A and B are shown apart, each in its own frame.
Chain A
Amino acid sequence: MAVLVIADHDNASLKEDTAKTVTAALKLSSDVDVLVAGQGAKAAADAAAKITGVRKVLLAESAELGQGLAEAFEALVVPLAANYDAILTPSTSQGRNVSPRIAAKLDVAQISDVIEVVDANTFVRPIYAGNALETVQSSDAKKVITVRPTAFKPAGDGGSAKVETIAAPAAPAKTHFVGQQLVKSERPELTAAKIVVSGGRAMGSAEEFQKVIEPLADKLGAAVGASRAAVDAGYAPNDYQVGQTGKVVAPELYIAIGISGAIQHLAGMKDSKVIVAINKDADAPIFQVADYGLVADYKTAVPELMDALSKAGK
């Protein structure tokens, strides 16, 4: 049995989600290849070759792959699937965009957001915003799976696989890339950060969000997250959203400030190692999952926290 992992990268560099997905793949087989599909992605392919346990890296490059177009991924991956028994993709927005398209073309189910590989046919995945875990057994000859990266440790970096360049087939020209607006940040990535500081509706404005949440994050070397309410109101960009339908994070420390703790938000952060909540409402549901709860107005609590951190040498 051989497994293909579709790498997560931004053309310039490889994302840690790839090494986590390799860990899931190695539970299925020792023959794990990584596909780096993009443009100008040689460095990402070289990085993938260093992941422990990787047999071979396939590098395919074209403008459409670089733009992440699902149609281009379909054209590339479906023929490659003949060589593999399973195709694993991290369940990032890009993975979720392309993987079901590949599964349907192969006429197999997609098993979404797998958090545990039980055996070659049996997988565990969260459903209902993580309020239930479903164990499913697949009868398909090929498995197409998206992997929830937070559920797996990254494979090591002791590998030395070969990088093989393969041709990118032409993709149907029905989809045209117009442009993108990416949020630039010096902070660690939300899904890979050791500490995440998130703000909610209580912030009241984008200025307040920046004034309260960002300095605290910077002090802790943390990534910044947000609730849906904060994103909807324009206090924070869309890719900060943590939750059932946003990003799933599981840092060492998650600090929720002015977030009530709706089911959908909890779905994205309740596997964090330590959860801190600052909320002025002692009955807010976030306190039910918080290891440490501070019932306070953030307007006084966050400056005090900044102070206390400074005193503690942060």
Chain B
Amino acid sequence: MKVLVPVKRVIDYNVKARVKPDQTGVDLANVKMSMNPFDEIAVEEAVRLKEKGAATEVVAVSIGPVQAQETLRTALAMGADRAILIQTTDDLEPLAVAKVLQKIIGEESPDVVIMGKQAIDGDNAATGQMLAAILGWPQATFASAVELSAGKAKVTREVDGGLQTLEVDLPAIVTADLRLNEPRYASLPNIMKAKKKPLDIKELASLGVDTAPRLKVVKVTEPPKRAGGVKVETAADLVMKLKTEAGVL
């Protein structure tokens, strides 16, 4: 059983994004970049499936700039077997990413694709569902548990109100939520080993996929700032202020 894991290079989750003064976007110069945290969870899940004997090969794919190789090396150091970089300096929209992944899936024929539920830069949470749609595959989004058996995946999903369990026929798309697992840190020997694992690079243009943007970014602005608050000394003070000053009790 082959598992494909799409991973995106994004701003590190500890960094607060700053809007550029000219309102054209977010300033990413000299900002720490990492693998999207949900994609780390997806890689971890795929590697665990391999360790359990449920999967035989884990392939990581990223669509992004030359530096996304580092992201792929991280996936390899965590235990992925090979990696593919679709190189482009364009920032693709989820629909375009899904179309590129569809093309790669056509070449690789994975049994299951495990990806993040959301990339923490654009916060779209759309690519997995779009990919499932254009492939005509079933989807199991926001997964907190995945079990693979012959031709099927049983997935527990985090939904508003609690948990839902679905069984999907393979091939299928699974998107990872926070509680699926806790990703490992790659060990130094594994980081060294990852340097020798295969990493194929293809130019986006060579795939012949229409990735033209559908949305034009008019501007990127800062959200309204909250006015500074005050410290209160006691709980009684707090209640008094909430009642008389804020009027919310």
Chain A interface residues toward B at CB < 8 A: 10, 67-71, 74, 92-94, 96-105, 107-113, 122, 126-140, 172, 174-183, 195, 220, 228, 231-232, 237-239, 244-245, 247, 252-253, 263-264, 270, 273-276, 282, 287, 289-296, 301-302, 304-305, 307-309, 311-312, 314
Query: Are A273 and B214 in contact (CB-based, < 8 A)?
Result: no
Residue numbers in B under 8 Å from A296 (CB-CB): 235
In the complex the two chains form, what is the Cα distance from A172 to B136 in whole Å?
9
CB B96 to nearest CB in A, in angstroms, measures 9
A304: B residues at CB distance < 8 A: 234-236
The answer, among B16, B125, B162, B235, for a CB contact under 8 Å with A263, is B16
Closest residue of chain B to A312 (Cβ to Cβ) is B239
Smallest beta-carbon distance A77→chain B, Å: 11
B162 partner, pick from A70, A131, A237, A293, beta carbons under 8 A:
A237
Chain B interface residue count, CB cutoff 8 Å, equals: 82
Of A132, A134, A314, most buried by chain B (CB within 10 Å of CB) is A132
* Contacts A137-B215, A174-B168; A128 near B11 (Cβ below 8 A): yes
Which of B125, B136, B163 touches A238 (beta carbons < 8 Å)? B163
List the A residue with the shortest CB-CB distance to B95. Answer: A109
Given the complex, which residues of B lie within 8 Å of A183, measured CB to CB? 161-162
Q: How many A-B residue pairs have CB under 8 A?
A: 276
Please indicate the chain A residues that have their CB under 8 angstroms from the CB of B38 in the complex.
Answer: 245
- Selecting from B64-72, B152-160, B187-195, the interface stretch reads B152-160
Whether B209 sits at the interface, judged by CB under 8 Å, is no
Instruction: Let me know if B214 and A105 touch, CB within 8 A.
Output: no
Within residues 91 to 128 of chain B, which ones have a CB less than 8 A from any CB in chain A?
A: 93-95, 98, 117-118, 120-128
Instruction: Give the docked Cα–Cα distance between A24 and B169 (Å).
Output: 37
Provide a sorted-by-A list of 26 A–B residue pairs whose CB atoms are within 8 angstroms.
A68-B159, A74-B133, A98-B129, A100-B126, A103-B133, A110-B124, A111-B215, A112-B126, A127-B122, A128-B123, A132-B26, A134-B220, A135-B219, A135-B221, A136-B218, A137-B216, A140-B214, A172-B138, A175-B138, A179-B164, A274-B248, A289-B229, A304-B236, A308-B234, A308-B240, A311-B239
Whether the pair A181, B163 counts as a contact (CB closer than 8 A) is yes
Contacts of B19 in A (CB 8 A): 131-132
> B residues within 8 A CB of A126?
123, 223
| B232 and A293 within 8 A (CB) | yes
**A-chain residues with CB within 8 Å of residue B185 when the two chains form the complex:** none
Chain A residues near B98 (CB, 8 Å)?
104
Instruction: Take A109-B93, A110-B94, A307-B235 as given contacts and tell me if A180 and B229 are in contact as well, using a CB distance cutoff of 8 Å.
Output: no
Could you tell me if B222 and A133 are in contact, using CB atoms closer than 8 angstroms? yes
Q: Are A103 and B165 in contact (CB under 8 A)?
A: no
Is B217 an interface position by the 8 A CB rule?
A: yes
Tell whether, in the assembled complex, residue A93 and residue B223 are in contact, meaning their CB atoms are under 8 Å apart. no
* Stretch from B77-85, B139-147, B197-205 forming part of the interface with A: B139-147
